[in-house]
Amino acid sequence: METINRIVEGYHDLMDNQSDQRVKDWFLMSSPFPTLAICLTYVFVVKVLGPKLMENRKPFELKQILIWYNLFQVIFSCWLFYESIASGWFTTYSFRCQPVDYSRTPHAMRIVRGCWWYYFSKFTEFFDTFNHVSKLHVIHHGIMPMSVWFGVKFTPGGHSTFFGMLNTFVHIVMYSYYLLAALGPQVQKYLWWKKYLTALQMVQFVLVFFHAFQLLFIDCDYPRAFVWWIGMHAVLFYYLFSDFYKQAYLKKVKRSKSKEIEVESKVESKDRMYLLNGFSNGSALGDVRQRMAGAVASQ
């Protein structure tokens, strides 16, 4: 019982005293449990409830919904990216070491608000799964809101916002692609660059990995726990996206090549059989004799 009491006291101390007091009364920020509940509900809906409800139904026509949804995400991502730039990246922030500004100045509070809206954007991304459900989607969208919640709760600003800045830029490109794809076949034929979206995501995680873990080797007033938190997320998501890339593109190319070889082999085999059959019934041999006779006559 004493151990349980210590755990409870430690939890309350962490949430009430060691977190950023500026966000403690903000929507969904007082406790991690509402966010956790939303994430678990999302996983339950896409993996259990959704398939159960749709197993005897025809797929819904979502074209118009997808167009408006992706347009919203492009605009939202552009605004978040702009906020990250205006708040410091490429202006006053250092890519080498950027501590969190815990003051209540207008500039510091702008960064905090941008972090909260980035956290909120992770919930809007749940709708990505309406059009396509995969292991990558479920893990990525199921984890991210909870991961970002801790960032907003303890370190809203500073070094780790590099991840958000980069991620919103990638999302501008990604949702622009999905918006164009939703317009139909007349546009889709020009979207040859789909696989490069996944490659862009992987480059993003490599940059985040090095940007985060550089703080292990330099003196910077930034929580070491969050260096590992961000860095290990980059490792996890790089693995997931690279696995998806291999499955979706590299293996597809191999399968396509093996099919071509198989078809060529069948054609060659048929030609061989025709030639052998021709010699056995005399037709091919007759062709050869006619050609030889024609050659002699021409001489």
Q: Which residues have a catalytic role annotated?
A: 140
* Cβ atoms of 107 and 156 closer than 8 Å: no
Question: How does DSSP classify residue 17?
Answer: T
- Among 240, 250, 80, CA closest to 175: 80
Dist CA 170 CA 121 (whole Å): 14
CB hemisphere CA count around 8 (13 angstroms): 5
| The residue to which tokens 């552009």 are assigned | 78
Task: Give Cβ neighbours of residue 152 (< 8 Å, ≥ 6 apart).
Answer: 20, 23, 29, 112, 115, 116, 118, 119
The Cα-based distances of 204 to 48, 163, 238 in angstroms read: 31, 8, 9
Closest CA to 168 of 91, 276, 89, 244: 89
Q: In 93-250, which residue ranges form alpha helices assigned H by DSSP? A: 106-124, 135-154, 161-182, 185-188, 194-213, 224-245
How far from 256 is each of 193, 247, 252, 261, CA to CA, in Å? 18, 13, 6, 9
How many Å apart are CA 231 and CA 5, to the nearest integer? 32
DSSP state, residue 217:
S
Separation of alpha carbons 173 and 201, rounded Å:
10
